[in-house]
Amino acid sequence: MSRAGKLAVGAVAALGGAFVTYWLYLAFLPEETRIRRMVERLQEAFNEGRAGEIAASLTEDFSDPESRLSREEIRGFLIRFFLTERDRRTRELRYLVRVEREEVQVEVRSEEPAAAALEATARFFERRGEPRLVGVLVFSAELKKVDGECRIARARHRTTEGRLPF
């Protein structure tokens, strides 16, 4: 085998080893860490206008007693929101959300059907110029395992300050 061939085989082996190591790392993450990462992904998805990713974090039978919206209705609402709530000149999303790590409480449970409880404080900002706080929401949720991952099954929220952009 030529020197270039040996280097290619070595590179593929190293890449494969890195992939297996990363997969094992993810497989053994504590449930609380996985849930906190889900909250971070939801924040990022909102800030980038990815309605489908937000809806994917909800169970098929998701319920919200206040809004009475289903998973698909929430997805549709968010698509419309992300399309219409943009700066006319730059087309940038008008609002962003911030969730501080220390304001996320996770309680992992062993009993079914709830796998965990989550409470997080979300601050919504208008992006024009310096971000300006428009509202604060406290989000509470019951999570359950679906295909090995925790997803939001029931949710409640209350506005504690200002107004929400939606």
Domains and CATH numbers, the chain: 31-162 (3.10.450.50)
Residue 4 near residue 12, CB atoms below 8 Å: no
What type of residue sits at position 25?
Y
pLDDT tens digits for range 55-85: 999 999 998 888 889 999 999 999 999 999 9
Angle CA 49–50–51, to nearest 5: 105
Query: What gap in Å lies between CA 162 and CA 157, rounded to an integer?
Result: 14
The pTM of this model reads 0.79
Averaged over 114-137, what is the pLDDT?
92
Lowest mean pLDDT among 20-34, 86-100, 122-136: 20-34
User: What pLDDT does 166 receive?
Assistant: 80
pLDDT tens digits for range 30-47: 899 999 999 999 999 999
User: What pLDDT does 16 receive?
Assistant: 53
Establish whether the linkage from the previous residue to 113 is cis, with ω within 30° of 0.
Answer: yes
Quick one: what percent of the chain has pLDDT higher than 90? 62
Look up residue 129 and give its DSSP letter.
Answer: S
